[in-house]
Chain A
Amino acid sequence: MIRFIIPSAVALSCCVVALITMVTNESAANESAAMANAWDDAAVKHHLEAAEYTGVLKHDRLHDLISQGKHLFSARFTLVDGVGRPMATQAIIPTKRKRPPRSEFARTAGLDANACVSCHNQPVAGGAGDFSVNVFVSEGFQLSDFDSTDPQFSNERNTNHLFGAGLVELLAREMTSDLHKIRSSALRTARQKLQEVKLPLTTKGISFGSITAFADGRIDTTDFEGVDDDLIIKPFSQKGVMTSLRQFTVNALNHHHGMQAVERFGARWTGTDDFDEDGINNEMTAGDVSALVAYQATLAVPTVKQVPEDWLRAADRGSVLFDELGCQQCHVRALPLNSLEFNDPGPFDAAGTLRSGEAGTDATYDLSLLNWSATLEQNESGQWMVPLFGDLKRHVIADNQVSRLGNELLSQRFVERNEFMTAELWGIGSTDPYGHRGDITTLSEVIEAHGGEARSARDKYVKLNENARSDINAFLKRMIIESAD
C-alpha cells in the first residue's frame, strides 16, 4: 500500500484531502506494523491488538502492558499517527466541524499538546502541570474554535496529577456500587411495603444525601448531594465529571492530540474509520487505550516526605490543626478500599467508552503486584486505606464573600459553575500551583480562597496566627509524589 500523506491539512478542505490521500480500510495497527522502522515519523510503532492482554495479568504481562502504556503516555504523536482532527471538534461526542481550523495547534481550543506528558510532568511523568500548560475546557459543540482565554468560551483548568489514580477509580467504583445498592434497597423495601422509603446515601463514611423511593418504582433525587442523579461517582477532572481513566483518556486523546479512539470515534458509532478526516483510520485501538489506562492506573501512590525533626514537629502540629479546622470533613484522610483488582474496562462506563465484553479485551490488573502497594495500610477489616485526602464528592466552593474559586462562567456536564470535586491533597507538596485554574501560588492563598461549603473551615484558618499557618504548610508539604526527590 502506498500512502501519500499531506504535510498539513490545515488549509485544505476535507474534499481535497479525500482526493489526494489514498486510504484503505486497513487498521492503523497493520499499517504502522508494516512501517515500523526506527527512523519513521510514527510515534506509535506498534498498535496493540485488542486481545493481546486479557484476563488477570501476571506480573510480567502487567509490567509489559504498563511499559507500553508509558511509551504511549510519553509519545509525541505525529501526523503519521493521526494527530489532528481537521474535521472534528474536541467534543466528547463525535462532532463535525463545518470547516477545518486555520491552525491545527492552538493553546486554547486545541490541539494543545504533543503528548500526555507534555502537561502531566510535574514532578515526573504522570504528574501535574503548572500554569503554562493549563487546559481550556469547552463542550466543543458550539464555538469550538475559540481563540480567546476569555472565560465566556471555556473554563481554564490546571493539570491534575495522576499518581494513585487507579486507587481513586477503584474507590469510586466501590462507592458507586454501594450507592446503587442503597437505591435498590430503598426500592425493594418501598415495593414490598407499598410505602415511601427514605434512606441515607452514605458510603465509606461519605454522605451523598438521601434517596426517597416510592412503591411504584419511582425515586426522588431532590436530596442527592455532590453526586449526579445516576449515582455514579465520577472521580476524575477538577469538576468530578469523568467516570474512569478510560473515559478520560479517550476524551483527552481527541481533545489534546486529535488522536481518535476507535471505541468512540470508530465506524461503529460514526459510520467511518476516519471521523476526523485526517487521512488516518482507526488511530487508537482499544488495546492502545488499555495500555494507557494500565499505565495511569498503576502509577504509585503519593507518599509522605521524610523530613527533619523540626519540620516533623511542625507537621504534627499542622495535622492536628487540619482536623480542628474541619478540613478533614471533605479532605478525608483515607478511604477504605476492599479490593486492589482493577478491571478494565470498568463497570460504570457508558457507550463510547469500552465496556466489559465489547471487544474481548477485559483484563484485570492486580495492583498488589506493584511495589508501592506495600505502603498502603490496612484496617482491622483488611481493607486498604487509601490516603487520598479527599471524599470523591462535589461541593460548592464559592460564595458571595469568598468567590475566588467560583471564577468560571460555564457549567460543565450539568454541574454548576461553583461546584467542584474535592481536590485530593495527596501529592500536593509536589504539584503547585493550586486551585482549579492553577493561578494560586501558595497553600495559604488557596485555603483562604475556600468559600461555600468550606467557608467555616476557611474562616477558622484565616484567624490562625502565622505560626499555626506555617504548621499547616508543614503538614501539607510533606505530601509528595515520591519521585520529586
Chain B
Amino acid sequence: MRYLDGVSRVVPGCLVACCVNTAAANGFSGDVPAYIEEAIPAGINHTYDGPWENFVGGGVATFDCNGDRFPEVFIAGGVNESALYINNSKTGGELRFSRDDSPVTRIKQVTGAYPVNIDNDQWMDLIVLRLGENRILKGQGDCKFSNANAGFGFDGGAEWSTGFTASFFGDDVYPTLAVGNYVDRSAPGSPWGTCSDNMLYRPQLSDSDQLTYSDALPLSPGHCALSILFTDWNRSGEDSLRVTNDRQYHRGGEEQLWKIDGRYPRLYSRADGWQSLVIWGMGIAEADLNADGFPEYALTSMGDTKLQSVDVQQAVEENRPIYEDIGFARGATAHRPYTGNDLKPSTGWHAQFSDVNNDTFLDLFIAKGNVERMTDFAAYDPDNLLLGTSDGLFVEQGDKAGIALDRRGRGAAVEDFNADGLQDLLVVNRSAPVSLFRHGGFKTPGGLLSAVGGNWLAIELNQKNGNRHAVGARLSVKTGNVVQTRKVQIGGGHVSGQSGFIHVGLGVAERATVRVQWPDGEWSAAFRVFANQFALITRGDEKVGYWYPPDDSN
C-alpha cells in the first residue's frame, strides 16, 4: 500500500518571481536526514540475485503481520529464497529484525511483493510476484501465512511478473487485482518484442458465496510492464490503470493508461488525448504535489526521471489525459549520478514520495543502479534523495544524507520502522546485500546533528464492512493555510508495496485538522489532531484515537 502525497499553500506569485531568497540561493536550507546503514546489525542479511530474469525485480513489502503496528518486511530474493523479517525494533531505537523461517514465506524466484487485505479479515495478506506462478499468501496472525491461490480461485499464471496494484471499484467489498507482466520468454524471438499481457482479476462470489478471482482478464497488448498502478488520474472517483513499460523489450509499445470501468477495459488512445511516451519505465510514484486532486507521477527510467502533471482543464472538461513533464522545471530529473565522476545516464527503479525531513515539502526517493553491465549507463549510480523545498523544487541531498552507496538499487520502502516519526529507508539491491538505513536525526543548517526535526503525524485509517484499510481514501491535512493530501493506494513503485501508518510532515505546526474522503467519496468531519502522534481514525467515530508504541516506560 502506498500513500501518495500533495500540498497546496497560498504563495503569492510575486514571492517566487521577484524576491531574493538568500538562503535558498546558497543551496538547500532545510534539514537533511542523517541516515545510518545498519542492515547487518539489524539482522537483515539478504541479497536479491540471479541471472537475466533477475536483472529487474527485487522488491520489498512492508506491513504489520502480528498486530503490533510495527512494519515487518518481506523481501524478494530472485534465485535466493524470499525472506520475511519480523520487526523487533524498539521505539526510536536501532532497527532490529529476526528472520522468520516458515517455508511458506521462503520462496524462490520472487521478484517482489505487495501487502493487500484481500478478504477483509484482521490480517494483511500478501501478493507475491514471481518468475512463474504468483501467489497469494493469506495472513493468519502472528505473521503466519498460508498459500491461498486455490482458496481464492486465483490462477497465479506462469509469467514473469513485475508489477501489481489493487483497488476497490464501485460497491465492491473485495479488491480488484491487477498484475503487470514483463517479457514472455517462451514466445518466438524472445525477448525482443515479446511482452506478456498484463492481467486483471475482478472479485466474484461463487455460488457458495466464496470469494474467487477465477475471472482473469488479459489486458492486451502488454508492453513489458515494470510497474502498474490504479490511479484516479482525473478525480472522477473511478480508478484507471497506469502502466509504465520498458522500451528495452517492447516494440511499438508506449506508456499506457487503461480505462477500467465497464466489463472490458480499454486503452486511452490518441483520440482520447493520450500522448505517446516511450521510456525505459521502471517504477511509478504518485503524489498530488499541489493538492488539487489531480496526481502527479514520477516515472523512473534510464536517463531522466519523468515528473508528469496533467492538464487539469483537459482532464476535467474533456476527460483527456494530457500530461506535461515538469521534472526539469522542478529539478527532479535525476538523470545522472550526483556524485562521483561518471557522467553517463542513471538507471532509476523504485520511486516513492515521502516527507523524510518533516518540513511539509514532499521529498522523492529513487533507487538507482545499473541493470547489470550496461556500459552506456553509469556504473556507480547512487540512490537519490531529492528533498522538496518551499518553492516547489527538489534538491538532491542523497550524498549528505549518507545513502550514496555503490550498490545497484531496485525495490525499496520509505517507512518508519521504529515508530519515532522519522522515515527510515530499506533498499533492495541487485547482487548485493539489502541496505537498511535508520533515520538517525537531522543535519541542521548550522551543521549540528539534531534528533528532532519538524513535527509530524502518522495516521491509520480503518473502516468497517469491507475495504478495511480504506484503500482509495484521501487524507486532507490542513495546517494554517497549507493543505497536504495523501492517498491510500496499493501498487506502483518497483515491485514494492507498503501498508501501515500514513506519514505526514507538519513542519512547525503543532496541530492539524484532518479530513478523510473515504473510498466511497464521503467526507468525514474535521478531526483535530495534535502533532507528533500516531492517530487512529475509524470511520464513524467522532474522535481520533491515539496509539503509543511501547517504550522503556510503557
Contacts and interface: CB of A to CB of B under 8 A. Distances in A.
Partners in one complex: yes
A351 B545 CA distance: 23
A184 B553 contact: yes
Given A95-B480, A221-B543, A18 B507 contact: no
B550 A217 contact: yes
Interface residues of B, number: 63
B479 A358 contact: no
Nearest to A274: B22
Contact of B448 (A87, A229, A360): A360
Nearest to A268: B445
Interface in B423-464: 444-446, 448, 450-455
Nearest to B546: A219
Nearest to A356: B452
Nearest to B450: A358
Given A95-B481, A268-B445, A359-B446, A14 B15 contact: yes
A350 B554 contact: no
B21 interface: yes
A112 interface: no
Nearest to B31: A268
A187 B91 CA distance: 14
B448 to A, nearest CB: 6
Interface of A: 13-15, 17-19, 23-25, 50, 87, 91, 93-99, 139, 141-142, 181, 183-188, 191, 216-222, 228-230, 264, 266-274, 277, 281, 350-352, 355, 357-360, 413-414
Contact of B455 (A217, A222, A351): A351
Given A23-B20, A230-B530, A221 B546 contact: yes
A13 B12 CA distance: 11
B140 interface: no
A271 B508 contact: no
Given A14-B15, A352-B508, 12 more contacts: A23-B20, A91-B480, A141-B480, A217-B550, A222-B543, A271-B21, A272-B23, A272-B29, A351-B507, A351-B508, A352-B455, A355-B450
A186 B554 CA distance: 8
B374 interface: no
A117 B29 CA distance: 34
Interface of A is mostly: loop
A398 B450 CA distance: 44
Interface stretch (B175-183, B345-353, B531-539): B531-539
Contact of B29 (A98, A181, A230, A271): A271
A63 B18 CA distance: 45
B380 to A, nearest CB: 31
A328 to B, nearest CB: 31
Contact of A355 (B10, B14, B452, B547): B452
Contact of A359 (B389, B448, B547): B448
A359 B450 CA distance: 8
B510 A352 contact: yes
B359 interface: yes
Contacts of A270: 390
B66 to A, nearest CB: 11
Contact of B389 (A191, A216, A271): A271
Contacts of A25: 22-23, 25-26
Nearest to A234: B510
A14 B14 contact: yes
Contacts of B46: none
Contact of B445 (A23, A188, A264, A267): A267
A414 B511 contact: yes
A217 B25 CA distance: 45
A230 to B, nearest CB: 4
A93 B479 contact: yes
A272 to B, nearest CB: 5
Enumerate the 7 nearest inter-chain pairs by beta-carbon distance, A residue then B residue, closest first.
A352-B508, A267-B23, A15-B18, A271-B390, A267-B29, A187-B554, A184-B554
Contact of B548 (A96, A217, A220, A281): A217
Contact of A268 (B29, B67, B536): B29
B528 interface: yes
B358 to A, nearest CB: 7
A18 B19 contact: yes
Given A184-B553, A230-B533, A358-B444, A414 B528 contact: yes
Interface in B461-490: 479-482
Contacts of A269: 30, 359, 454, 507-508
Contacts of A219: 545-548
Given A142-B481, A217-B549, A219-B546, A268 B20 contact: no
Contacts of B536: 218
B324 interface: no
Contact of A281 (B22, B481, B508, B551): B22
B509 interface: yes
A25 B18 CA distance: 17
Nearest to A411: B528
Contacts of A96: 10-12, 15
A188 B554 contact: yes
Contacts of A187: 548, 550, 554
A362 to B, nearest CB: 12
B22 A98 contact: no
A222 B390 CA distance: 37
B15 A141 contact: no
B17 interface: yes
B22 A272 contact: yes
B24 interface: yes
Contacts of B551: 184
Interface in B58-110: 67-69
A14 B453 CA distance: 30
B121 interface: no
A351 to B, nearest CB: 5
B10 A268 contact: no
B514 to A, nearest CB: 12
Given A350-B531, A351-B454, A358 B448 contact: yes
Contacts of B543: 221-222
B391 interface: yes
Contacts of B20: 18, 23, 274
A216 to B, nearest CB: 7
B389 A352 contact: no
Contacts of A274: 20, 22
Contacts of B446: 50, 359-360
A190 to B, nearest CB: 9
28 contacts: A14-B12, A25-B25, A91-B480, A93-B479, A93-B482, A93-B507, A95-B10, A141-B480, A187-B548, A188-B554, A217-B68, A217-B549, A217-B550, A218-B545, A219-B545, A222-B543, A229-B530, A266-B23, A269-B507, A270-B390, A272-B22, A273-B23, A277-B15, A281-B22, A351-B506, A351-B507, A358-B448, A359-B446
Contacts of A185: 553-554
Contact of A191 (B29, B544, B554): B554
B480 A93 contact: yes
A310 B511 CA distance: 52
Given A18-B19, A95-B481, A230-B533, A268 B444 contact: yes
B507 A352 contact: yes
Given A14-B15, A268-B30, A181 B452 contact: no
Contacts of A181: 553
A19 B69 CA distance: 53
B303 to A, nearest CB: 29
Nearest to A220: B545
B268 to A, nearest CB: 38
A273 B531 CA distance: 25
B454 A218 contact: no
Interface centre among B546, B553, B554 (most CB of A within 10 A): B554
Contacts of A188: 550, 553-554
A139 B455 CA distance: 19
B548 A183 contact: yes
Interface in B1-44: 10-12, 14-15, 17-26, 29-31
B507 A358 contact: no
A423 B232 CA distance: 52
